[in-house]
Structure 1
Amino acid sequence: MDSLLNVNPGLMIWTIVNFLIFLFLLVKFGAKPISNSLKAREEHIEKNIKDAEKLNQEAQKLVAEMQQKLKDAQNEMMNIVQKGKQQAEELLRRAQEDAEKIRKEKIEEANREINRSKEAALFELRKEVASLVIYATEKLLNEKLDEQKHIEIINSYIDKIPKN
């Protein structure tokens, strides 16, 4: 066991020579493949970073486009709502105008009907008054009037009746 802990100069020299040969062989035959492998790995990582940056830019571009489309859709929706409000207001205004027109027409028709009824009543009243006047006149005069005289008396009394 002691022999393992003791330093043996011959063994140490062979160990150093073996290590130097190993380093020489490693540098001679292993440096290029390791370097190429590291370079390929570095290029692969750089390519992945560039691809990720490109994808990130495309994603940002798509986000901007989608935000613009959303904004345009909101503007279009607001325009549609505004047009709908304007059309509803126009429809309401037209309905009010039509209702007012119909109301005026109904009032005018009622006034015409009232005037017709008034004139018919006045005509009937004049006829009745004329008949009463003739009857009273006949009673007063105790005689029958001829047709011509009869018409003259009626017309004179009708002219005296107010036309309201």
Structure 2
Amino acid sequence: MDLLSPNAGTIFWTVVTFVLLLLILKKFAWGPILKGLEDRENRIKSAVYQAEHDQKEAEKHLEEQKRIIGEANKESVKLLNDSKETAEHTRKEIVEQARSEAERMLERAKQEIDLSKEAAIADVKKYAVDISLLAAQKVVGETLSEKQQINLIEKYINELSQTT
């Protein structure tokens, strides 16, 4: 039981050894330990600062990307609307051109019909004149002078015009 009871000499040498160990540790180990802890603390602070800085930069980039996407969306909507307006304008122009072309073709057809009608009437008049001259020559039995032919032709043309 001697080993378990406190002895003043053992306590003294234990305290002296502990104090010497503390002094030796303070002189040789405590500085490097504290320096290591400070370095570690500085690295952690730096890493936290860098992480916060990187997070702020990422948020800035995210906001910038959102802004760019928003502008791109606005621009695409504007381009789409402009394209629709241009297409509608082009469609209207094409329809108007087709309408005016159809009107021109219709007018040209009417003119051709009128010309054909006038040509047909002229042909009928000429044919009627020729028949009238032949009939007159047979009735009269002789050839008419040019003046007589003109008078006779005008007479028959007037009669023919009145009947049509």
TM superposition score category, shorter chain reference: 0.7 to 0.9
Q: How many residues align?
A: 162
Deviations 1:94-140 (A, max 9, x none): 22222112211111111111111101110111122223333334444
Aligned to 2:158: 159
Aligned to 1:53: 52
How far, CA to CA, are the matches of 1:148 and 1:86 in structure 2? 73
Within a 5 Å distance, the mapping from 1:109-148 to structure 2 comes to: 109-148=108-147
1:93 Cα deviation after fit: 1.9
Deviations 1:18-67 (A, max 9, x none): 22332344345544433333223222211221111111111111111122
Aligned to 1:79: 78
Work out whether 1:36 is the aligned partner of 2:35.
yes
Structure 2 runs not aligned, ≥5 long? none
Q: Supply the AA of the counterpart residue of 2:73.
A: Q
How far, CA to CA, are the matches of 2:53 and 2:6 in structure 1? 62
How far, CA to CA, are the matches of 2:144 and 2:28 in structure 1? 161
Compute the TM-score of the two structures, normalised by the length of structure 1: 0.80
How far, CA to CA, are the matches of 2:159 and 2:43 in structure 1? 123
How far, CA to CA, are the matches of 1:141 and 1:25 in structure 2? 168
Match for 1:7 among 2, 5, 23? 5
Work out whether 1:64 is the aligned partner of 2:66.
no
Structure 1 runs not aligned, ≥5 long? none
Aligned to 1:88: 87
Using the aligned pairs only, state the percent identity.
30
Compute the TM-score of the two structures, normalised by the length of structure 2: 0.80
1:71 Cα deviation after fit: 2.0
1:142 Cα deviation after fit: 4.4
SS at match of 1:161: helix
How far, CA to CA, are the matches of 1:85 and 1:162 in structure 2? 60
1:83 Cα deviation after fit: 2.5
How far, CA to CA, are the matches of 2:161 and 2:102 in structure 1? 32
SS at match of 1:7: coil
Stretch moving more, 114-123 or 64-73: 64-73
Deviations 1:51-88 (A, max 9, x none): 11111111111111122222222222223323322222
